[in-house]
Amino acid sequence: MKKLLLLFLLFSMENLLAEGLSYLARTKPNPLAYQLELGKYCPFSIEEISQIIQTTALKKSIKPASDSQNNFHMHIRLSCRQAKWMEKNNLLLYQTNVKYGRWKPAPAMYFSADYSQFGIADQYNLLNVFGKNLEDALSDYVTANFIET
């Protein structure tokens, strides 16, 4: 009986996880449009962050497109601040947000999954955190669109 219950629970969890990503499923998953917001206090250029996005997406076999007018898109935001006491240690207060959204039909909306983090780090570790959030979001997109369940 315990084995049967365990199998049922495992099967149920697999279905729940698959249904949980159904909002990411697209009839044409490639290319994936993205919209980037980079805070004015972040010590990175738009080009540097765009390169990380493109490289990470291509590793997952996703063709990134920076066309933010595309209906379904990945919204990416990186915000940074630095207090006086952080300057001598080159630390930044940061928030990373990676989430999926759509423009139409109105009203525009973001979907519930949010790959975010808030913390204090140096530039190197901040880019690692950002890359991890981006990878997690893209892994779910790949699972929803390219892996049969």
Residues 44 and 78: beta-carbon distance below 8 Å: yes
Q: CA 115, CA 96: separation in Å to the nearest integer?
A: 8
**11, 17, 19, 20: CA torsion to nearest 10:** 160
What is the reported pLDDT for 112? 66
First and final CA of the chain: distance in angstroms?
Answer: 26
Distances (CA, A) of 114 to 28, 87, 97, 106: 22, 30, 7, 21
Residue 15 in this model has a pLDDT that exceeds 80: no
Residue 137 in this model has a pLDDT that exceeds 90: yes
Residue-level length of the chain: 149
Q: pLDDT tens-digit profile of 28-67?
A: 888 899 999 999 999 999 999 999 999 999 999 999 987 6
Of residues 137 and 29, the one with the higher pLDDT is 137
Structural domain count, the chain: 1
Q: What is the pLDDT of the chain when averaged over all its residues?
A: 82
What are the φ/ψ torsions at residue 12 (nearest 5 degrees)?
-65, -45
Residue 87 belongs to a domain with what CATH number?
3.30.160
What is the reported pLDDT for 48? 95
Q: CA 14, CA 35: separation in Å to the nearest integer?
A: 31
Q: What predicted TM-score, i.e. pTM, was given to this entire model?
A: 0.79
What is the reported pLDDT for 107? 76
Strands (DSSP E) found in the chain: 32-38, 64-65, 72-81, 92-102, 109-121
Q: Which tokens belong to 117?
A: 């983090």
Structural domain including 8 reads 2-146
Q: CA 49, CA 130: separation in Å to the nearest integer?
A: 9
